[in-house]
Chain A
């Protein structure tokens, strides 16, 4: 059986917290319905100030600039997940065309 992922955070660990800044009811009028129907939320990273905590606990953190904030613990040692994407055939094709053009230009240049 796979082990449960470690969910406990210890004091000093880098963690990410979540805060609801405004509930849907508190959001101003005049914004699109798809937006107004959702809460206005924030995620912030910092070092855990509590001795120990679990995902979902309300915790206090010290941010990179030393401010203290509180919120719900959502991740321990948060990872940057953005990446370079998949090679895309349409982009690969543009590269090949450009190289053909350069190649042709080189041949014309040599022929001079």
Chain B
């Protein structure tokens, strides 16, 4: 009998489809509507860090160069206060097989799918992850279907995503180019049901523990070269996986004092599901439209419980504008001889003002770069922006207006970050978590979970709950 494929019918089968397509019974890890066994879930597939290193080495993933950006460091020092301007290193993740750190995520998930006997994999992504999944699927002889949100209703496509379509097809994937909308999830469920393929969701355990090697490697590389761990690691933040995996890898390397900073492109005011706003943004990932909501509610994903939980690991989170990222992309090419994709330079752009805060002997690591190509280049993105009515000019990036004006800084001093108030995010996280209880009385385990999951103190959780008028268990 054929399944009913209407929207409500497919969505109602969500849980059973997902359970079958990721091979995990999430119910086993549930503790309450708020709490679940996070460590149990993230470790449930049974891969140790050394297993992951071995699996990734098999397909040439990882062990990427760590490059000191000496000219950019000197430029930053020249505009910093006396004695200030930390040394900036970059992890050249472009050296991974499909050109980004996303190979680390895909490698473990696709390996796992092959081990479990799935014939193919499905990923819903407009980012580099699609190419990474398609590349790994090619290596393991699995079939890949990549679902991409590419076009607005005029069939005008973001050039960066059109490039990803090309890359995925180059690796032999079946690509669905879709219009704007959250129904991406619906079509993913439909295809998973039709094919019985594995869902290489960005939020399953293998997809996040695959990144632990990145944090581990960079800590080891800095230690090997400089005899100390990095003082700060800057990580592009969107769904939370990059932050989570890297921070866990740093911890596994023993780099406990390293400050973990997330960087996200400021696209506040643009609606992620809007057909109109869609082509008024240059960054299709690592932007605030994902970065902020995913901190507040990490489980707003394609699996019941996400193991990508940025708020658990972030010491700090900063916003940077599109124009600043393009500016720094030019500097990286001209001053360091590294032509890399702008989206992958989100963390580098944020690193410039952040390094100014550090002492000269301190070390900051930018943990990724990505490949560049037609569609990705700043020239391609700015041409597209202007064609879609966005103004592009030089000036002070403070005048940047997402979707309306892209301002390219006139001087490196103008590259600045804006801190996201993590206490405010924690409060929103708690409010959201309370909604999940459906009015049930909170238990102590809920408080403990919220404290751990939001990196807030127990006192902070109680104080916030009290200010919201929520009844709390006795302390």
Contacts and interface: CB of A to CB of B under 8 A. Distances in A.
Interface of A: 21-22, 26-28, 31-32, 34-35, 37-46, 63-67, 80-88, 90-91, 93-95, 98-99, 101-102, 105
B376 to A, nearest CB: 9
Interface string B370-395: 00001101111111100000001110
B392 A90 contact: yes
Contact of B335 (A38, A67, A86, A98): A98
B144 A35 contact: no
A38 B275 contact: yes
Nearest to A87: B379
Interface residues of B, number: 60
B275 A65 contact: no
A82 B380 contact: yes
Given A28-B7, A34-B276, A87-B379, A44 B176 contact: yes
Contacts, number: 149
A84 B181 contact: no
Contact of A41 (B71, B159, B179): B179
A110 to B, nearest CB: 16
Interface string B265-287: 00000010111100000000000
29 contacts: A21-B183, A21-B186, A21-B187, A22-B7, A22-B186, A26-B7, A31-B181, A35-B153, A35-B275, A37-B275, A40-B183, A41-B153, A42-B177, A42-B187, A44-B177, A46-B174, A65-B144, A80-B165, A81-B162, A84-B380, A85-B377, A87-B379, A88-B383, A90-B382, A91-B330, A91-B378, A94-B330, A94-B408, A98-B335
B167 to A, nearest CB: 10
B312 interface: no
Nearest to A41: B179
B99 interface: no
A88 B379 contact: yes
Contacts of B162: 80-82
Contacts of B334: 94-95, 98-99, 102
A16 to B, nearest CB: 9
A40 to B, nearest CB: 5
A64 B379 contact: no
Contacts of A80: 162, 165-166, 374
B125 to A, nearest CB: 15
Contacts of A81: 162
A31 B182 contact: yes
A99 B330 CA distance: 11
A38 B153 contact: yes
For A82, A83, A88, the residue with the greatest tally of chain B CB atoms inside 10 Å of its CB is: A82
A98 B380 contact: no
